[in-house]
Amino acid sequence: MHRVNKSGADVIVTKSIGPIPRKGHPGPVLTTSHGGLLNAVGLTNPGIDNFGDEMQELKSLGVPVVLSIFGNSIDEIVEVAQKGSEMKPTALELNLSCPHAEISQISHNPDLTYKYVRAVKETVDCPVFAKITPNASDIVSVAKAAEKAGADAIVAINTLRGMKIDIHQKRPVLGNLVGGYSGPPIFPIAVRCVYDLYNVLFIPIIGVGGVSTWEDAIEMHLAGASAIQVGTAMIEGFDIFKEIKSGVNKYLQENGFSDISEIIGLAGGSQK
């Protein structure tokens, strides 16, 4: 994470941290299909009680840190949020939607989403982001429920449920059989989700899903994202952050904009 910081990222989002140490799924935890990446890492993390040192180190860099957390029940996520907020992150991001772990169902359901977000908001003072899944049949209702519960921003989207079968061995490749699909092929789905959400939400949207170039970042901003997250594209190296930022700045300059805020949602959506 030191290196991500050095490479020009303005904010660092941690991997999701839960209540206890968790090994994750057996390997393979990663494979590819049709130009994208399938992962079933399975929320590997050292547990919130072991994460204080790492947060301390990260914060010493002076870069804003968003602590991503999850819990299998409302009590669990409240406990992790409580402990996490004591580490003074810039914000908490609630992973309500990992498609290959037990928590996958929360953000399929507006009521559950409301309850989780509400419970955390009542516990902590820092900003709370809700990360939601494109696998839900109605992401708009889910995002609205999170907003109603007091979420300070929506992070869209998590990975898509997917699978890869090895035709020689005739079995699924991932240890967990099913995984989350990420990378460039999911980008148009992420853009559609952000666009739809921008039309109905009052709170900011953080766009994520397949962004791998500065053109993607611009497209995501035009769809309505106030900020962009990059994950899978780091496979090509950490220069991605500098490349995106300089490309975006050049685009703004060439098109007569003085600030990124001027292009957010400019593609036709109308935030309320």
Partner 1 sequence: MNMDKLMGTPTSVRVKEVTKETNRTVTLFFDVKDEVEIKPGQFLMVWVPTVDEIPMSISYWNLPTLGISVQEIGDATSALVNMKSGDWIGIRGPFGNSFALDSKNALVVGGGIGIAPLRPLVEDLLARNIEVTLLVAAKTKDELVLYNFSELKPSNFTLEIATDDGSAGHKGFATDATEKLLEEKTFDKIYTCGPELMMHGLYQIASKHGISIEVSMERYMKCGCGLCGTCALDPDGQLVCVEGPIFSENSLKSIKEFGQYHRDATGTKKKF
The residues that are catalytic are 98
- Tracing tokens 């290959």 back to the chain, one arrives at 100
* Distance, C-alpha 143 to centroid of its chain: 14
Does position 23 interact with partner 1 (CB under 8 A)? The reply is yes
Nearer to partner 1, 10 or 57 (CB): 57
- The token pair that represents 93 in the structure block: 């991001």
Pick the binder of partner 1 from 8, 47, 64, 247 (CB under 8 A).
47
Q: Among the candidate windows 41-49, 137-145, 154-162, 218-226, which touches partner 1 by CB under 8 A?
A: 41-49
- Tracing tokens 């609630």 back to the chain, one arrives at 94
CA atoms of 198 and 178, how far apart (whole Å):
30
* Distance, C-alpha 14 to centroid of its chain: 10
Q: Among the candidate windows 20-28, 80-88, 89-97, 125-133, which touches partner 1 by CB under 8 A?
A: 20-28
Neighbours of 11 (CB within 10 A): 15
Nearer to partner 1, 22 or 115 (CB): 22
Nearer to partner 1, 35 or 256 (CB): 35
Interface pattern 49-88 for partner 1 (x via CB under 8 A): -x------x-------------------------------
Helices of type H across 86-186: 110-123, 139-148
Q: Look at residues 144, 1, 12 and name the one whose alpha carbon lies nearest to residue 68.
A: 12
Pick the binder of partner 1 from 236, 239, 262, 266 (CB under 8 A).
236
Pick the binder of partner 1 from 8, 11, 31, 247 (CB under 8 A).
31
Does position 233 interact with partner 1 (CB under 8 A)? The reply is yes
- Tracing tokens 């990222």 back to the chain, one arrives at 9
Q: What are the DSSP calls for 163-174, one per residue?
A: E-EETTTTEESS
Least distance in angstroms from the C-beta of 119 to partner 1? 25
Bridge partners, 94 (sequence order): 69, 130
Residues 243-262 within binding reach of partner 1 (CB under 8 A): none
Percent helix, strand, coil in the chain, to 5, is 40, 20, 40
- With a CB cutoff of 8 Å and minimum separation 6, the contacts of 253 are none
Does position 29 interact with partner 1 (CB under 8 A)? The reply is yes
Does position 184 interact with partner 1 (CB under 8 A)? The reply is yes
Does position 44 interact with partner 1 (CB under 8 A)? The reply is yes
- With a CB cutoff of 8 Å and minimum separation 6, the contacts of 170 are none
Pick the binder of partner 1 from 8, 127, 150, 175 (CB under 8 A).
175
Binding residues vs partner 1 (CB under 8 A): 1-4, 15, 21-24, 26-32, 35-37, 41, 44-47, 50, 57, 166, 168-169, 171, 173, 175, 183-184, 212, 232-237
